[in-house]
Amino acid sequence: MITEPRIPDPDGFYAALLAAHEGRTDAQSADLNARLVLLLANQCADQDVLLACIRAAAEDTTTTTAP
Amino acid sequence: MENFAFAPAYELPVWPFTPPPELGSTKPVRHPIVIVGAGPSGLTLACDLAQRGVRAVLIDEDDTVGVRGASSRGICYAQKSLEIFERLGIYERIAAKGITWSFGRTFSGEQEVYNFNLQANSVSRQPPFINLQQFYVEWFLVERILELGLTDVRWKSRVTRVEQLADGVRLDIETPAGSYTIEADRLIDATGANSPIRTQLGIEAHASRSTDRWCISDVRFKKPLPTERWTWVDAPFNEGRGVWQHLMADGVWRIDYQMPEDCDTAYISQPEVAGARLREQLGPDVEFEFVWIGPYGYRDHLLDSFRHGRVFFIGDAAHVVSPFGARGGNSGIQDAANLGWKLALVAQGKAGDTLLDSYDAERQPAAQQNLQVTSRSARFLAPRSPAEHTLRRAVVALAARHPFARALVNTGRMSVANDYPAAPQLPEGARSVQNLPLRWADGRETTLMQLLSEGTHCIGLWFAPTREQARAALDATASLPLRLLAVGGDSGLPTLQADDRLASHLGIGDAGSFALVRPDAYRAAVLANATPEIIASALRTALGHDSNP
C-alpha cells in the first residue's frame, strides 16, 4: 500500500469528490461512495494492496463519531 | 381465489427386504466394508466399489429412493459427478433423462447484469451440468449396483447402535424380521445431515443455521423457457428478494423464492400463497400445476475430521453447506469417488491403511472450501446490515454498465472438482483431469474415463518415451497398480495419439514428460523428465507406500 502522496492535484480531486456529493441525501452519498470504492478497487487490481487498504481504513477510529 | 392443481405423485420403485443370514445367528459375522445410507454418496461408493470388483454391505432404513415428497433435494449434477457416473456406467441414462445446461443468467430487477457459459472452460466428454431430480440418480445407481451384483443391499434396516472396536466396528441393526449384530472392518457413514452414527459417537459437527428462509416450488407449465439457470438478486415479482429458476426432467421447473427472514414457513408454502407468487411471475394466462412445494432454511456443518478410527464420514454426514452452486450433493458424490479406489486397493492388499487417511486430508479441505464459497454467496444474497445493502446496490448498479463489477455479483459459484492441497501422498497437491476424448495410435476412440473404468489402477501418461525407458519402467512398476501408456512416439507401450488439448490440459507435453493420473482422475504428479525410478517412486508416494509399506 502506497501512503506517500501520488495524487497530482489533491485539492482539485477533493473538490471534485465534494461536488459529486452535492445535493445528495445521506443514503445517496453512501451509494455513491460505495460505487466509487468498487471502481477504484478495480483500478488498483492488486489483492494484497486492496486488503491492506481495507485494514488501514478499518483501523481509523476518528470517523466513527458523527459531529 | 384461484385454485392450484397438484400433479399426481411420482411412482417410485420399491425393493424387497430380504432377511439376512445373520438374523438368529449368535456370533456376529465380520464384513470388510459396511456402508450405511443409500443416498447419492452411499450409493456412489457402493457402485464404485462394485465396479472395481469389491464387495460391500449397504444398509438403508427405507426401501425406495427419494426423500420427503416427490421431487425435493438436489437437482444439479456437475461435470466431475457426471464423469464419475460415466465411469460407473449410468451417465447415458442420466443424460437421456436429464436437462443439459451450461449457460446462466443473473438479473437485478428487470435487467440482466451478468451471464456465464461454463462450456467455455470444458474439454470433457461430459457437459458442465445436467439437472435431474435426485431420486432418478439414486434409482439409476441402485439398478446399476444390482446389475453389478457384488453389493449386499439391505433395505428396511436401521442401524440402532455402533461401537468402535480395536480392529473394526460393531453395528446393531433393526429390521422388520428382528434385530441382529454385524461387524465391519471399516464402516462408512453416509446417513446424511442428521447422522445418528455421528451423534452416537459424540462427534462435534460445528452446526449453524441461517435465518434466511426460502420456498421451493416445483412446477410444471407450458410456457417455453430456455434451459438456462436464471437467478434474480432482487426479483420485482418477489418483493425485491432473490429467485432461482431451473429446469429438471419431465418438464418440471424448480423455482426457489427467497422469503422474509421472519416469515411463517407454513403460510408461505400454502398452495394458494405459493400459487399467487407464481402467478405474479408468469402472468395471468400461463397454466401450471404444482409438483411439490416446501419451505426450507439453510444450515451448515463441517466435521473437523472425516475419519474417526474405523469410521469414515462421507456426504452430508460429514459436511452440509447452503445449496448455492450445487456444492452439496456433488461433493458427496466426489467424497465417494475419492474413498472408493482407496478402499479397493486396501481390500486388495495393494495399499496400506495410510492411504485411507488421505481421504480426510483431501476431502475435508474441499468441504472447507465449499463452505467458504457458499457462505459468501449466502451473504451476498442476504445482506445483514444497511451497509451491506449499500455495497450490494453499488455492485448491481455497476454490473449493468461495467464488466468488472459482474464478477462481484454472487448468486452462487457453481460446483467444481476441488483442487487438493499438498500432503504426504500429494507433494505438489492434485487437480482433477477432465474426461478428455482420446484416440489410440490406430485411430480407435477412447476417453480417460474408459481407461479408468476397469479395475483399480493409476494411469501413467508418458509423452514419447524411448523403448528402453518404457521396458525398464514396466519392470520397475510391475508389482504396482499402474497402467503405463505412451502419448506419441514409438516405445512399444500402448500408445495414444499426441494431442495438444491433452498436453495443455495436463500441463506437460515435451518428450519424456509424464503425468500420473489416479483412479479418481486426479493428477497426482507431473514429471518433467521421467525415469523408471522416478515413476515408481511417484506412484509409491501417491499410494501412501512410503510411510507405511
Q: What pLDDT band is residue B548 in, cutting at 50, 70 and 90? A: very low
pTM: 0.95
Which residue in B446, B240, B199, B413 sits closest to B327, CA to CA?
B413
Which residue type sits at A42?
N
Q: Which domains does chain B have, with CATH numbers?
A: 31-99+129-207+300-354 (3.50.50.60), 208-298+386-406 (3.30.9), 431-542 (3.40.30.10)
Q: What pLDDT band is residue B273 in, cutting at 50, 70 and 90? A: very high
What are the residue ranges of helices labelled H in B354-428? 354-381, 386-399, 403-406
Averaged pLDDT score across all residues of chain B: 93
Cα distances (angstroms) measured from residue A20 to each of A7, A24, A29, B402, B428: 18, 9, 9, 20, 51
Contact B395 A39 (CB under 8 A): no
Nearest Cβ partner for B394 among A27, A38, A42: A38
Q: Which three cell numbers stand for residue B154?
A: 439391505
Report, as an integer, the average pLDDT of B26-31: 91
Q: What pLDDT band is residue B262 in, cutting at 50, 70 and 90? A: confident
Predicted pLDDT at A61: 67
**Chain B: residue whose CA lies nearest to A36:** B394
Interface test with A, best of B395, B401, B404, B410 (most A CBs within 10 A): B404
- Nearest CA to CA, how far is B395 from chain A (Å)? 7
Q: What pLDDT band is residue A65 in, cutting at 50, 70 and 90? A: low
Residue B248 CB coordination number (10 Å) = 23
Q: Over the stretch B203-260, which tens digit does the pLDDT of each residue have?
A: 999 999 888 889 999 998 776 677 889 999 999 999 999 999 998 888 899 999 999 9
Q: Over the stretch B147-168, which tens digit does the pLDDT of each residue have?
A: 999 999 999 999 999 999 999 9
Under 8 Å between Cβ of B250 and B362: no
B132: three-class secondary structure by DSSP: coil
Q: What pLDDT band is residue A58 in, cutting at 50, 70 and 90? A: very high
* Domain ranges across chain A: 25-59
Q: In this complex, how many residue pairs, one in chain A and one in chain B, have their CB atoms less than 8 Å apart?
A: 25
User: So what's the ipTM on this one?
Assistant: 0.93
At residue B371, does pLDDT exceed 60?
yes
Contacts of B404 in chain A (CB under 8 A): 42
